[in-house]
Amino acid sequence: MTRRTAALVLAFALLLGLIVASALLPVPYVRFAPGPVYNTIGSLDGTELISISGTTTHETSGNLDMTTVSESGGPYGNLTVADVLRTWRDPNVRMLPREQVFPEEVDRNQVQTENSVAFDESQSAAISASMRYLNKPLTSSVLVTDVSINSPANTLILPRDVITAIAGTSVHTHDEVAAVVRSKPVGTAIPFALKRDGKAMTVTVTSGPRPDDPKIPYVGIGTATNYQAPFPIVFGVKDVGGPSAGLMFTLGIVDKLTTGNLNGGKHVAGTGTISPEGKVGAIGGIAQKMAGARNAGAELFLAPDTNCNDVVDHIPDGLTVAKVSTLTDAVAATEAWVAGRPVPSCS
């Protein structure tokens, strides 16, 4: 090998090394892709996604799929240049700058905890919305959704704890928690009766001055009202986060507690938050969710009407999309589609 040939080989090797190295460089993006779907009236690994006991239930068939988005990058681990280039032209994948998705520095555990709490809240709201729709009674308790760092309650109370009483006073709603805490002077040692992972316990939190108003007692917890049906409803899906499964969980409960098949035994999917009163709210990643639903075989997709701008121009071939704003709308749209009638659509 001549000296010139050796130099060319070395230069090529260096260039190749630089290309490979640059392809492995991390980039500050978050990738959103279609995630798995879960049939809310079906089972996963032998476990029902919605298990109802202590009352009469009815057989179901077909699918009422909740849809998900697969996220990577940011707190989930760095994406590389190669990752971005590999999926950049995929119409079902969306890339966003990390700071646009996570404006503050957060770690994976923090994001997973927040998403897990939101998922719990969506299940609670689904119970409330379905029981109200079916004219069945409800009870409620208080779920801890977050605990502020460096607050009096930090490490004593944890997200997902259920508060049953404060200072001997039973509490059942978010508003009652604030009322009891604020009825005591700043600096009061307040006992909280909790259920953590099903186990009863009591912790004592000494209130401090609220950062923005020192005259108001403060313990530093966020709470939400947690609803229960008059019979056990257990959700079997794990390792999924966020609030967007609320609508499909609600429809799954309604289908199991009413005669006939809401979906006509066909393949229906959807997304949307649900309020305790049955209002359907907007979600993110709807283009990816529609793609995931169609890939799984869905023919009808229920979408929040507030997401219509994101629905238009992203509907996969063969998928009918019905816009809904309430649980009643979702039931009516599904029944209309099963009967072969038009459904309300995004223009």
Interatomic CA distance for residues 144 and 226, integer angstroms: 9
Is residue 263 over pLDDT 90?
A: yes
Q: Which CATH number fits domain 139-228: 3.10.180.10, 2.30.42.10, 3.40.50.2000, 2.40.10.120?
A: 2.30.42.10
The pLDDT assigned to 119 comes to 77
For residue range 212-241, list pLDDT tens digits in order: 999 999 999 999 888 999 999 999 877 666
Q: State both tokens at 260.
A: 């006939």
Give the model's pLDDT for residue 77.
Answer: 60
pLDDT at 58 exceeding the cut of 80: yes
For residue 27 the two structure tokens come to 């980039």
The pTM assigned to this predicted structure is 0.78
Residue 24 confidence (pLDDT): 45
Please tell me the predicted confidence (pLDDT) of residue 336.
97
The DSSP-derived string for 133-166 is: HTT---EEEEEEEEE-TTSTTBTTB-TT-EEEEE
Q: What is residue 268's predicted lDDT score, i.e. its pLDDT?
A: 98
> Residue 184: helix, strand or coil by DSSP?
coil
Give bridge partners of residue 226 from the DSSP assignment.
141
With bands split at pLDDT 50, 70 and 90, how would you rate the model's confidence at 101? low
> In this model, does residue 19 exceed pLDDT 60?
no
State how far Cα 292 lies from the chain centre.
16
| pLDDT at residue 156 greater than cutoff 90 | yes
- Here the contacts of 210-215 (C-beta below 8 Å, separation 24 or greater) are 214/186, 215/186
SS3 232: coil
Q: Which residue has the higher pLDDT, 121 or 342?
A: 342
Q: What is the DSSP letter of 320?
A: E
213: its two tokens: 């108003």
- 198 φψ region: left (φ > 0), alpha (ψ -120 to 50), beta (else): left
- For 189-217, give one letter per residue: b (16+ CB within 10 A) or e: ebebbbeeeeeeeebebebbebeeeeeeb
pLDDT averaged over the chain? 86
| Domain definitions of the chain by residue range | 29-136+229-338, 139-228
Pair type for strands 267-270 and 63-73: parallel
Helix or strand holding residue 199 (H, E): strand 199-206
What DSSP designation does 326 have?
B
The pLDDT of residue 22 is: 44
Number of helices followed by number of strands (H, E) in the chain: 9, 22
Contacts of 217 (CB under 8 A, 6+ apart): 181, 182, 184, 185, 186, 188, 207, 208, 209, 210
| Range 29-136+229-338: architecture per CATH | 2-Layer Sandwich (3.30)
For residue 89, the SS3 value is: coil
